[in-house]
Amino acid sequence: MGEQLGLLGYDYVEFYVGSAKMWAYWHAKAMGMKIIGYSGPETGVKGKVSYYLEQNNLRIVVTSAINPSQYQIHQFVERHGDGVKRWSLKVKDVRKAFDGAIKNGAIPAWEPVRTENENGWVEEAALKLYDDAEIVFVNRDNYKGIFKPGYGKPIQKIDIVSEDTGLQAIDHIVGNVRTNEMDLWVNYLNKSLNFETFIDFGPGDISTQYSALLSKVVRSTEGPAIKNPINEPYEGLKKSQIEEYIDEYLGSGIQHVAVITNDIIKTIAAMRKNGMEFLSVPDSYYDTLKERGFEVTEDIGELKKYGILCDIEGKGYLLQLFTKPIGDRPTFFYEIIQRRKGAQGFGQGNFQALFESIERDQAQRGSLDK
Ligand code: FE2
């Protein structure tokens, strides 16, 4: 066991994107989030613009560069397209968490930085992750203002009409890495953050006739659950979705963020109304669900109507659905998930139906053939 870090769960996820304003509007409309904060020249921040959005405990930041001084943001977007730059973990003591993680073997990205104004202070530090991402340790407990120093109220009055989606918080964050990189990053997270391997999907566990992947799930051993599946491609007849991601993202990075809801039927109905596109499953999926004869509280007809997937796991079950990639490249997407009766898994029973759905989209993009 390495140094204890005092991890307190996920805080926010930050994207680097071509246009923060467009991404903020999209999250407000399709995800039903509220634009709470803005940072840019008007708030004394040079060369870049960020919007901070919230819904319950789901916190998203979208950032773009507005001149060449912020070349790191340009370079990220030029290479990867719009994507997740960093996800953050709340800690009580940023210095202690950072030093402890480095002692455990983590690679530093940047040292603890404290920013402050009349509303208090925020401290953050970051570790490297995958090709170009970061894990941030953050303490915002002593800040009374909007999000962080440098943020203020949105300059324009932004009033977007959107259905209430009831999204609650981050459930898990998934990375895609190259062939033979999965164990490297699994060991990195386990060692650096005192995580443990929780689920191991080996060869043959997740595959269709055409494509396959390997996946391991690591999770925190202290504090609230922090779960991070990591996928790598596995040999198949055609190009797997993980290979497509690596090709299009030009490297390893974050594939999806899963968001918890307490009422998935309401959430998916609202998101569909808001214009969100989801992966589709054939009607026959629901026949087999009925045949399995498991008692779910929800009406299977309703699940079918909204295309929601159901996976049974011991005495519990989980309901989930994946959006289509939300940007221009077939890379990042969201997952919506509801866990019932203590289900802990990730929907292994749905992988077959989902993969076939993804492969249909890959074929349309012409990226199924190697
Ligand atoms: Fe997931």
DSSP state of 39: E
The band of 283, judged by pLDDT with boundaries at 50, 70 and 90, is confident
Question: What is the 320 CA–ligand 1 centroid distance (Å)?
Answer: 9
Q: Residue 156 domain-assigned?
A: no
Question: What is the 346 CA–ligand 1 centroid distance (Å)?
Answer: 6
Q: Looking at the structure, do residues 222 and 286 belong to the same domain, yes or no? A: yes
Question: What is the 348 CA–ligand 1 centroid distance (Å)?
Answer: 10
Question: What is the 347 CA–ligand 1 centroid distance (Å)?
Answer: 8
Q: Residue 161 domain-assigned?
A: no
Q: Compute the distance between CA of residue 100 and CA of residue 192 in angstroms, rounded to an integer.
A: 8
Q: Looking at the structure, do residues 135 and 263 belong to the same domain, yes or no? A: no
Q: Looking at the structure, do residues 129 and 30 belong to the same domain, yes or no? A: yes
Query: Which of 121, 139, 157 is at the close of a domain?
Result: 139
Who has greater pLDDT, 331 or 363?
331
Q: Looking at the structure, do residues 126 and 261 belong to the same domain, yes or no? A: no
Q: Looking at the structure, do residues 328 and 291 belong to the same domain, yes or no? A: yes
Who has greater pLDDT, 361 or 152?
152
Question: What is the 333 CA–ligand 1 centroid distance (Å)?
Answer: 10
Question: What is the 257 CA–ligand 1 centroid distance (Å)?
Answer: 7
Q: Which helix (H) or strand (E) holds 123?
A: strand 120-129
Q: Looking at the structure, do residues 124 and 201 belong to the same domain, yes or no? A: no
Give the residue from 351, 283, 271 showing the smallest Cα distance to 311. 351
Q: How do residues 217-256 score in pLDDT, each as one tens digit? A: 999 998 889 999 999 998 887 888 899 999 999 999 999 9
The domain total for the chain is 2
Give the residue from 53, 36, 246, 61 showing the smallest Cα distance to 136. 61
Q: How do residues 10-50 score in pLDDT, each as one tens digit? A: 999 999 999 999 999 999 999 999 999 999 999 999 999 99
Strand, helix or coil for residue 224: coil
Q: Residue 286 domain-assigned?
A: yes
Q: Hey, CA dihedral for 87, 132, 130, 247, is it positive or negative? A: positive
User: What predicted TM-score, i.e. pTM, was given to this entire model?
Assistant: 0.95
Q: Looking at the structure, do residues 65 and 207 belong to the same domain, yes or no? A: no
Strand, helix or coil for residue 126: strand
Question: What is the 256 CA–ligand 1 centroid distance (Å)?
Answer: 7
Q: Looking at the structure, do residues 262 and 313 belong to the same domain, yes or no? A: yes
Q: Residue 370 domain-assigned?
A: no
Question: What is the 171 CA–ligand 1 centroid distance (Å)?
Answer: 8
Q: Compute the distance between CA of residue 197 and CA of residue 179 in angstroms, rounded to an integer.
A: 19
Q: Residue 2 domain-assigned?
A: no
- Whole-number pLDDT of residue 207: 77
**How confident is the model over 200-207, as a mean pLDDT?**
82
Question: What is the 148 CA–ligand 1 centroid distance (Å)?
Answer: 29
Who has greater pLDDT, 355 or 87?
87
Query: Which of 139, 159, 188 is at the close of a domain?
Result: 139
Q: Which helix (H) or strand (E) holds 230?
A: strand 227-234
- CATH value at residue 46: 3.10.180.10
- Whole-number pLDDT of residue 353: 76
List the domain range (segments joined by +) for residue 208.
167-365
Write down the residue that tokens 């991070």 correspond to: 228
Question: What is the 44 CA–ligand 1 centroid distance (Å)?
Answer: 38
Q: Looking at the structure, do residues 256 and 331 belong to the same domain, yes or no? A: yes
**How confident is the model over 336-365, as a mean pLDDT?**
83
Q: Compute the distance between CA of residue 100 and CA of residue 215 in angstroms, rounded to an integer.
A: 27
